[in-house]
Structure formats: C-alpha cells, structure tokens
Chains A and B, each alone.
Chain A
C-alpha cells in the first residue's frame, strides 16, 4: 500500500532538546511538505522540497530545519530555538511541484515539549 508514514505518533521532549520527526513516502512523489497545526489556526507551512537536495522555507521556518537526501524521506528537526514547539506536525507529498498537484498527508506526529 502506498502512502506517507510519520513516526512516532506521539513524541515527548524536554525543553532545550532538539528532536527529529520522521516522514517517509513510497508514492514516488517529487515534492514534500511540512506543516504545523495548532488549535484554531489551521495549517501553516514550515518547509517544502520540490526535488532531492533542495528545499525552501515556508511561512514559519524559524527554529526548524530539514534535509532532503533521498526522494522518499524528508525529516524535520525542531530545534531548541523554536519558542513554542508543542504542536501537531503533518507531512505531505505531491507528485509534482505547484499547487495543481494534490497533496497527500501523513497521519501526523504530536510533539509535546515540557
């Protein structure tokens, strides 16, 4: 079955620690995205990548970093510089770049930082 895998589903960290969220897709999609979801705020774009070894900042990239070394993988690191890291994080992918391509979403990772 093709799809997007995010792990773990729940993640707990202490303040000041970096944490990496995993996102893997086997859809052979070129583009991948990371969104942050907070109650009442919809989804906000953190980073996106249209091809391997290339990525762009979204609307709220501060305190986050990404890499795209393989087509199927797009891990997100939440650094200690992110002031409010507790949130629900969603990864998505699409066949090509541009919004005409449907984005497929993973099940999400809920990160809690205390």
Chain B
C-alpha cells in the first residue's frame, strides 16, 4: 500500500539557518512526489513536484527537494530560512488517481 512518513512532527530553526524536512514514501512503482506548504488556517500551496528526470527538483520560495530511490526519500531543503517560512509542510505521493499525504511537519522559525 502507498504511504508517506514525515518523521518530524515539529522542527525549530533560527532565521538564516539551513533546513531539511524529511519524507519517506512507500510505493511499488515510480512515484509522483509533491511538497505542499500550509500557513495557519489556510489552504495548501504546491512548493514543488517530482515526476521523472533530474532527481534534484527546484521549487518556489527557494526550496528544493531531492528524490533518492534507494532510500525511498524525498527530503525538502532550503539553504537559508526566512521568518515567513514558518508553516506546516506536507509531503505527498501520487498513485493511481489520488494523493496520499503525510501527517505534516510544523516549522517554527526564531529570529
């Protein structure tokens, strides 16, 4: 069965520090992978997606993610976090005709 695991429920970083949010997936075939961001009380916005090709994917707001098939991972990174990046981040895997979401990682940014 398809599944997504985000092992970190809550992460706190200082503004300007680097960030890596972890995502592991379980899927039988080549996965379609997504990262979404959600500000409090709002809908989700797509940061980036991976379907095929280059395993390092660039997204909006300076985020990138790397697909590693051997580790079944699709971790999200940002070299320097801004206070406005504080939000909840969801990883999702697509299979058949629907998305399976992870439980999310809440990012807190200290000045």
Contact = CB atoms under 8 A, between A and B. Distances in A.
A108 B96 contact: no
Interface in B70-98: 90, 94-98
B108 interface: no
B34 to A, nearest CB: 8
Contacts of A95: none
A40 B9 contact: yes
Given A99-B94, A99-B96, A99-B97, A107 B42 contact: yes
A11 B68 CA distance: 43
Interface string A72-114: 0000000000000000001010000111101111111010000
Given A100-B32, A100-B51, A102-B49, A45 B43 contact: no
B44 interface: yes
Task: Give the interface residue-count category, chain A.
Answer: 20 to 34
A108 B42 contact: yes
B102 A45 contact: no
A45 B98 contact: yes
B103 A40 contact: yes
Contacts of B96: 99
Nearest to A45: B98
A2 interface: no
Interface string A27-70: 00000000000001111110010100000001000000000000
A102 B46 contact: yes
A110 B41 contact: yes
A58 B44 CA distance: 19
Given A43-B90, A99-B94, 6 more contacts: A41-B103, A42-B103, A43-B44, A45-B99, A99-B99, A105-B45
Interface of B: 4, 9, 32, 36, 41-46, 49, 51, 90, 94-99, 101-104
30 contacts: A40-B9, A42-B101, A42-B102, A42-B104, A43-B44, A43-B90, A43-B101, A48-B98, A50-B97, A58-B98, A90-B43, A92-B43, A92-B44, A97-B97, A98-B97, A99-B32, A99-B95, A99-B96, A99-B98, A100-B94, A102-B49, A103-B46, A104-B46, A105-B36, A105-B43, A107-B42, A107-B43, A108-B41, A108-B42, A108-B43
